[in-house]
């Protein structure tokens, strides 16, 4: 199975400051069609997960442009340019390139 390792697991951030979460894969996530199926989700406290970013760097509709995704192959990053209070929650990366679908352990973002 593809193992996704996120770091850090806990991320205290001051309001207005940037934040960065890493997701490293045990195997390349480039599919045979040339597309990399790496997705980022946000789960706010008490809520269902919400997709933020798909195919590495594509933002979902309604997602603020302070969120951005980047990376390739086995190394991926989710960045928040300026953290706001509503960004508190747990962030997960997920790969859809190989069965079974797998998630990272999650990174808990909190306000310092």
Partner 1 sequence: EVQLLESGGGLVQPGGSLRLSCVASGFTFTNYAMGWVRQAPGKGLEWVSDISGSGGNTYYADSVKGRFTISRDNSKNTLYLQMNSLRVEDTAVYYCAKEAGSGSYGHLDYWGQGTLVTVSS
Catalog residues that contact partner 1 under the rule CB under 8 A.
37, 39, 41, 43, 48-51, 54, 60, 90, 92, 94-97, 99-106
- The phi, psi pair for 73, rounded to 5°, reads 65, -95
- The phi, psi pair for 94, rounded to 5°, reads -145, 145
Least distance to partner 1, CB of residue 100, Å: 5
Least distance to partner 1, CB of residue 31, Å: 9
Element (H, E) at 48: none
Least distance to partner 1, CB of residue 15, Å: 26
Counted residue by residue, the chain has a size of 112
50: three-class secondary structure by DSSP: strand
Beta bridge partners of 5: 24
């Amino acid at each position: 199975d593809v193992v996704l390792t996120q770091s850090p697991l806990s991320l205290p951030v001051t309001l207005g400051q940037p934040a960065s979460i890493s997701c490293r894969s045990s195997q390349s996530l480039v599919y045979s069609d040339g597309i990399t199926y790496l997705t980022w989700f946000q789960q706010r406290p008490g809520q269902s997960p919400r997709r933020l970013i798909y195919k590495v760097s594509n933002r979902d509709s309604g997602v603020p442009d302070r969120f951005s995704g980047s990376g390739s192959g086995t190394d991926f990053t989710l960045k928040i340019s300026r953290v706001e209070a509503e960004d508190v929650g747990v962030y997960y990366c997920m790969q859809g390139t190989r069965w079974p679908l797998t998630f990272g352990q999650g990174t808990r973002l909190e306000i310092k």
